[in-house]
Amino acid sequence: MGVFLRIDVDNGYSWENVFQKGLNKLCLNYPLIAPKLKIFGFQKYVPTLIERLREHDVQAGWFYQPYTVSKPDVLNLLKREGHTLAYHAVTTDILENFRKGKTFLEKKFGTEVKSMSKHGSGVLKLNRFHTPEYEPDKLLKFSMETGITLFTGNAETPDLPEEVHGTTKFIPGTYWINPSYRDEAKYNLDWLRDYAQSHTVIVLVHPLRIYMDKIVEQNFVAFLESGIKIEPFHHLEDQII
């Protein structure tokens, strides 16, 4: 039980101007030729987020796409500060492609990947490698076949019961920081504080949304400053094993 923070890293650059948007598209669609340069603004909002988490002593799970993985210095910093590196799956049409994404990230991280989440809403195709369908049963099966022990789902209802299949735990819903994806009247910080006394809740946020969307930022700050204890993400992985 407890509250855990999941961060889905969906972008290389930002959306604040045409140049940044173009570089971002390149990262997501043509990763082999895309520059990942700090001078161009590659993930410039990530260090600020790391600092903010450090101030609140929060160790999150960072779910990376193979196309949005941070540079080694940032990955090393995250590892040093006790964060968990995980897999945000994009190509999930067949097991082989799912596994390829996981293996790619493990090489970049230099650590084993134990947790995964799926990119997208289940409807829109978000880049040219993206499998738009969100099929929890299939993703659970792929997780089990590739040694993933935690599959954190995208349902917008954070109190769906968790399931354990073999050595893999599936937590179907998350508490979205972005209030557009949450029933705000029901799922608020008071609810979270109370429910997490006896259940596991995964809170989800996207770094670029915090940077670009004032409402998301305000909700995120309110969460961090609420006094709700945020457990280190690796505790969740450890509980399972």
Identify the CA nearest to 105 among candidates 115, 119, 94, 120: 115
Interface region with Zn ion, contact rule CB under 5 A, candidates 5-13, 42-50, 217-225, 230-238: 5-13
Q: For the CA atoms of the chain, what is the radius of gyration?
A: 17
Q: Which lies closer to Zn ion via its Cβ, residue 105 or residue 196?
A: 105
The site for Zn ion, by CB under 5 A, has a size of 3
Q: Are 228 and 3 in contact (CB under 8 A)?
A: yes
Answer positive or negative: Cα dihedral of 105, 60, 6, 218: negative
Q: Which lies closer to Zn ion via its Cβ, residue 8 or residue 237?
A: 8
Alpha helices in 56-185 (DSSP H): 72-80, 95-109, 136-145
Shortest distance in whole angstroms from residue 45 CB to Zn ion: 16
Question: What is the pattern of x (binds Zn ion, CB under 5 A) and - over residues 8-37?
Answer: x-x---------------------------
How many Å apart are CA 180 and CA 177, to the nearest integer? 9
Question: What is the pattern of x (binds Zn ion, CB under 5 A) and - over residues 111-130?
Answer: --------x-----------
How many Å apart are CA 238 and CA 241, to the nearest integer? 5
Question: What is the pattern of x (binds Zn ion, CB under 5 A) and - over residues 74-113?
Answer: ----------------------------------------
Shortest distance in whole angstroms from residue 174 CB to Zn ion: 12
Shortest distance in whole angstroms from residue 6 CB to Zn ion: 11
132 residue type, one letter: P
Residues that bind Zn ion (CB under 5 A): 8, 10, 119
